[in-house]
Amino acid sequence: MRYLYSIYHWLWVWAGSVIFSHPSRKIFVVGVTGTKGKSTTLEFLGAILEAAGKKVALSSTVYRKISGRTERNLSDNSMPGRFFLQSFLRKAVSAGADYALLEVTSQGVVQHRHEFIDWDAAIFTNLAPEHIESHGSFENYRAAKVSFFEYLARSRKPEKFFFVNGNDANARHFMDAAAIRGGVLYQYKKEKFLEECLKHKLDLTSREKRVKANNWLASDFNLDTASAGLAFAESRKIPWPIFQKALLDFKGLMGRMEFVQKEPFAAIVDGAHTPDSLEKAYQNARPEIIFGKTGGKMICVLGSAGGGRDVWKRPAMGKIAANWCDVIILSDEDPYDEDPDEILEQIKYGINETEGKKTKSENVLKILDRHLALKKAVSLAEKGDVIIATGKGSEMSIHIAKGKAVPWNEKEILESIIKET
């Protein structure tokens, strides 16, 4: 059955390439893969290329763009199947785009969606456990990501470019895949990026200096994105002044450590939905980081997706929250057909099992209605505190039972609650 399922998807992809006359042969195609940072990396690459005067087409979790025309991605699919990618590439070519920047997911690779595209470049951001139930193991999940690099290595394009985050523990797997048939390999690291900035009299070696230059650079994990962008710019021979302008002008991506307000208390929305990304978000949302002084409390609103997705991570995320948050408010994220209360109880189990936790038991609240949960968070916030709501980010709906979706915009709702208070 699995073999027939694979053939089914392969046939759709092959048919799309034929119907749309192999558009990838006429445009420079870049794929970005990894667990976190794919959409932000795509947006930053687009900003660099546009600063260099290039026309860009981009498809990510958040946006679809073709040569200046932008629309929200209202679907729940970062890498749609059937004919979407080939159709998108054909539209990009017809619009005169020079580059097509595409998000590449592990599920998309398993369903052959990356095939029959003549790729020019692949970027690997990072890897952490995710979609384990779907893939069967972390090793299978990684193998799906690596196979995209292997596919690029066999591309018919005359030059192939591979960009690997050298700071990631899984970097060697991707570098080995890149070496199958040659190509140009860039191993980017944030340390190299900071050194290069210093050479051009741009000092970003401290958080304070980065905030002054561009608040987007305040978060340590965005240094990886900036590093990937620099490596890509160098590969395309884009001069430093153009890269620097794009770097300092870039505003980041909606729903990614996005501030709703900064004073008198900070309110942040972020799409973190894995233990690794949640911990990084909390590390960068501490009151002493945001305000430069201790004393404020961190109020965390979080949940976890249902539908049988990555059940293992729920107690793990609870433990992380317990170690970082002063107040935890557990609430719906996307329960699908699972019992929402049971999902939150699994997170709460991780909180209760955490030794030496920061969060006192009386400060762990469970409010299923996410609107009410955000309202409670705002009511508890005082000057110098930080509210951070994770899981939804830029998503436009909350998925509930029987395939229904409730319209949702975390930033706008939180903004409205604050104004009403």
pLDDT digits (tens, 9 = 90+) for 273-317: 889 999 999 999 999 988 888 899 999 999 999 988 779 999 999
Q: Where in the chain is the domain with CATH 3.90.190.20?
A: 258-420
Homologous superfamily assigned to 2-249? Mur-like, catalytic domain (3.40.1190.10)
Structure tokens at 97: 């785009």
More confident of the two residues 396 and 377: 377
Q: Where in the chain is the domain with CATH 3.40.1190.10?
A: 2-249
Q: Mean pLDDT lowest for which of 54-63, 128-137, 236-245?
A: 128-137
Q: Tell me, what's the pLDDT at 5?
A: 67
Q: Are 62 and 254 in contact (CB under 8 A)?
A: yes
Structure tokens at 37: 């940072």
Site of tokens 């430069």: 292
Structure tokens at 153: 């290595």
Spatial CA neighbour of 38 closest among 390, 388, 274: 274
Spatial CA neighbour of 163 closest among 184, 192, 191: 184
Tell me: pLDDT of 74 over 80. Answer: no
Q: Tell me, what's the pLDDT at 421?
A: 84
- How many percent of the chain have pLDDT more than 90? 71
Q: Are 224 and 126 in contact (CB under 8 A)?
A: yes
Parallel/antiparallel/unpaired status of strands 397-399 and 184-188: unpaired
Q: Tell me, what's the pLDDT at 370?
A: 97
CATH 3.90.190.20: does it fit domain 258-420? yes
Q: Are 327 and 359 in contact (CB under 8 A)?
A: yes
Residue-wise pLDDT for 338-352, tens only, equals: 999 999 999 999 999
Residue by residue, what is the 3-state secondary structure of the chain? Answer: CHHHHHHHHHHHHHHHHHHCCCHHHHCEEEEEECCCCHHHHHHHHHHHHHHCCCCEEEECCCEEEECCEEEECCCCCCCCCCCHHHHHHHHHHHCCCCEEEEECCHHHHHCCCCCCCCCCEEEECCCCCCCHHHHCCHHHHHHHHHHHHHHHHCCCCCCCEEEEECCCCCHHHHHHHHCCCCCEEEEECHHHHHHHHHHCCCCCCCHHHHHHHCHHHHCCHHHHHHHHHHHHHHHCCCCHHHHHHHHHHCCCCCCCCEEEECCCCEEEEECCCCHHHHHHHHHHCCHHHHCCCCCCCEEEEECCCCCCCCCCHHHHHHHHHHHHCCEEEECCCCCCCCCHHHHHHHHHHHHHCCCCCCCCHHHEEECCCHHHHHHHHHHHCCCCCEEEEECCCCCCEEECHHHCEEECCHHHHHHHHHHHC
Q: Are 103 and 38 in contact (CB under 8 A)?
A: yes
Tell me: pLDDT of 215 over 90. Answer: no
Parallel/antiparallel/unpaired status of strands 28-33 and 121-124: parallel
Residue-wise pLDDT for 229-241, tens only, equals: 999 999 999 999 9
pTM of the model: 0.85
Spatial CA neighbour of 93 closest among 115, 66, 70: 66
Phi, psi angles (nearest 5°) of residue 276 = -65, -50
Site of tokens 């470049």: 121
Site of tokens 């969606």: 113
Structure tokens at 57: 């087409």
Q: Mean pLDDT lowest for which of 23-32, 58-67, 91-100?
A: 58-67
Spatial CA neighbour of 40 closest among 67, 63, 69: 63
